[in-house]
Structure 1
Amino acid sequence: MAPPNNRRPGFSKRAQYSIFASYLLGILGAILGLLLLLISFIDPQGFSALRTIGAETMAPVSKSLSEIGGATGSAGYEISAYFTAASKNAAMQQELEQNRIEILEARALRQENERLKRLLKLNEEEPDSIAMARLISSTASSSRRIATLGVGSNSGLEPGQPVRSPEGLVGRILETGPTTARVLLVSDGKNVTPVQRASDSLPAFATGRGDGTVDIQPINIGSNPFKGGDLMITSGSGGLYSPGIPVAVVIRKTETGAIGRVLANPAKVSHAIVQPIFQAETMRQIEKTAATVLKQGTGE
């Protein structure tokens, strides 16, 4: 049978001494506390001196305990930081990647806004433009270089009309549907564009090579006056494109002419405007002027 919990110390001297010492210490503590209380009432200054002496006596012990506690807390923090470093590092990497994506998106948005501003400015400078739309797609691996424009005959588009962007000439309308149109790009091998050098109006022809460049041949056979960096613009010959539209810049000479890089790269052009055929617009202006003069002559 288990012994009862409230056993007496019996004849155990150690147990008796322990009980007696605890009682004695309790009585002495009570007496000491009572004395200190009486001293605080009778002699406050003396009690303050005793309190100062006690604080000075316990200061080294308190300091040692404080240092031990600080060291223990610091060690615990370092251990915790070691085990949580991996998760914090992963979270920081994820946040860094998210910030990088946001920066790239903001940079792309800014470039798109700048491109649209240039396009709107071009549209204001060309009051006779027929439509402005997005280039939906363009061929990259086909033998033909054709792009699709997001407007068609419902917006007044017709085959032959020039298509340009702020960077330069994109091409001309090849076919039209009600809401889309196919654009024959300047770099297409069957597209020949009358051009001239911007610096001195030297006439030439630019023929597409199918790889984003054009073959520039001077009209005067036997001479090759081109050099790298020459800017080629439309000359207005042929009555299709209005003069002064940037087409290409010479990147290297050949035996008979030069190779030029097309300025309006369809892969980078998001929007474009469609202009009237230059000769047709000129004829309409001539007819309008003639009708005005005739009306003035008849006195109407």
Structure 2
Amino acid sequence: MAPSRDRRPGFSRRAQYGLFVTYVLGIAGAVVGAALLALSTVNPAGFAALRSGVAELTAPASGGIAVVVRGIASVPQAIGGWIDVHGENARLKARMDRAAGALMTGRAAVIENARLRRLLAFRERDEGVVATARIVSTSASSTRRYGLLNAGRWQGVEEGQPVRGPEGLIGRVLEAGPNTARVLLVTDPESVVPVRRLRDGRAALVAGRGDGLVDVRTIDTADGQFRPGDVYVTTGVGGIYTPGVAVAIGTARGTDSAAAQPFARPDSLDVAMVSRQYFAPPPPAPAPSPAPSPSPSPSAAP
């Protein structure tokens, strides 16, 4: 008689060992999770140090995985570009032939501009930048939004410093290790940034939603009508963020709050800049009031 297919694990020594290892790993995982939960409750500073150490160890692997993912994502685009390269080349040649005069004028303007820049010793420099680094990973699969920056205290990065990209504000440094730093993104529910609306200067708050978008919330009841296309920039109120940095653009209408899309997307950024915290200049000292002129005494009258 053929053996039954529904044999229990007890008939196979390999199945018994596999089941035993599964139980051991499950129990070990539960014990480690309970220990980490207890550590985060009893000693938050120690838990933060442990988490920073783990981030230090995993940063090289995260950077390598990010490079591989970017390489794989660029394969379809490279294939499509290779397929269209012949037609695109012909179109570009025809366009260059039609615009030969404009092209020569543009080249002359570029050369002249470069000459004037050298004569004037023109340099664009931001003295507030502390470090320029890469965001090697982000927590896109969680309701909390963090980014891991490939720079830390050894590069001058400290807690509370703002982080921005070429497009706009990314967030602020939450924890800084020796060579890595954890960034609280503007899309995190715990992030609140004071902003103003460009079209009328109305003050508002940008708060994270945890889903890749932000909410723009009114501060007062006057003109709380939010519209799609409204641009919001930092105000510098409360410090930390330098005024005038782009934060988000409105995507929906609302009265008290409305959804908006951040300008900077950490998952597609290659380089991020860490700046010093902004401190508003002190108010000007009041001008001294003129001393009153003495009134003549009655005895001096004739």
Structure 1 residues 154, 215: closer, same or farther in 2, change over 3 A? same
Query: What is the alpha-carbon distance in structure 2 between the residues aligned to residue 223 and residue 199 of structure 1?
Result: 12
**Greater helix fraction, Structure 1 or Structure 2:** 1
Equivalent-residue separation in structure 1 for 2:80 and 2:142 (angstroms) = 33
Q: Report the equivalent of 1:132.
A: 132
Matched residue of 1:154: which SS? helix
Q: Is the aligned partner of 1:266 residue 2:245?
A: no
Question: What is the CA–CA distance in structure 2 between the aligned matches of 1:143 and 1:239, rounded to whole Å?
Answer: 27
Alignment of 1:70-81 (within 5 A): none
2:143 and 2:210 in contact (8 A); partners too? yes
Structure 1 residue 127, shift from structure 2 partner: 2.2
**How many Å separate the matches in 1 of 2:157 and 2:173?**
8
**For the residues of structure 2 that align with 1:136 and 1:170, how far apart are their CA atoms?**
14
Does the alignment pair 1:210 with 2:207? no
Equivalent runs, 1:159-174 vs 2, <5 Å: 159-174=159-174
Within-5 A mapping of 1:88-237: 100=79, 103=82, 124-221=124-221, 223-237=223-237
What SS does the aligned partner of 1:100 have? helix
What is the distance in 1 between the residues matched to 2:242 and 2:215? 21
Q: Rg: which structure is higher?
A: 1
Whether the 8 Å contact between 1:222 and 1:256 is mirrored in structure 2 is no
Aligned to 1:254: 254
Would you say the 8 A contact 1:203–1:219 is kept in 2? Answer: yes
Q: TM-score, normalised by structure 1?
A: 0.53
- Which structure 2 residue ranges, 5 or more long, are not aligned? 1-75, 86-122, 285-302
| Separation of aligned partners in 2, 1:207 and 1:157 | 24
Task: Calculate the TM-score normalised by the size of structure 2.
Answer: 0.52
Q: How far apart are residue 224 of structure 1 and its match?
A: 2.0
Q: Over residues 226-274 of structure 1, what are the superposed CA-to-partner deviations in whole Å (9 max), with x where a residue is unaligned?
A: 2110000001101110100000000002342211101101111111000
SS state at 2:224 partner = coil
Q: CA deviation at 1:213?
A: 0.9
Alpha-carbon distance in structure 2 between the residues aligned to 1:231 and 1:222: 18
- Answer whether contact 1:223 1:256 (CA < 8 A) is retained: no
Does structure 2 conserve the Cα–Cα contact (< 8 Å) formed by 1:251 and 1:261?
Answer: yes
Q: Displacement, 1:221?
A: 2.7
For 1:240 and 1:219, the matched residues in 2 are separated by 19
Cα 1:254/1:176, change in 2 over 3 Å: same
3-state SS in 1 of match to 2:147: strand
* DSSP-derived class of the 2:183 partner: strand
Query: What is the one-letter code of the residue matched to 2:159?
Result: P
1:211 deviation in Å?
A: 1.2
Contact 2:206–2:217 (Cα < 8 Å) also in 1: yes
Find the residue that maps to 1:267 and give its secondary structure.
helix
The answer (yes or no) to whether the contact 2:226–2:255 under 8 Å persists in 1 is no
- Structure 1: where are the runs of 5+ without partners? 1-96, 107-122, 287-300
Change (3 A) 1:204 1:98: closer
Name the CA shift for 1:154/1:251 in 2 (closer, same or farther; >3 Å).
same
Amino acid at match of 1:100: I
The answer (yes or no) to whether the contact 2:227–2:254 under 8 Å persists in 1 is no
Taking the aligned partners of 2:201 and 2:77, their CA distance within structure 1 comes to 52
Asked if 1 retains the 8 angstrom alpha-carbon contact of 2:196 and 2:202, the reply is yes
Secondary structure at 1:278's aligned position in 2? coil
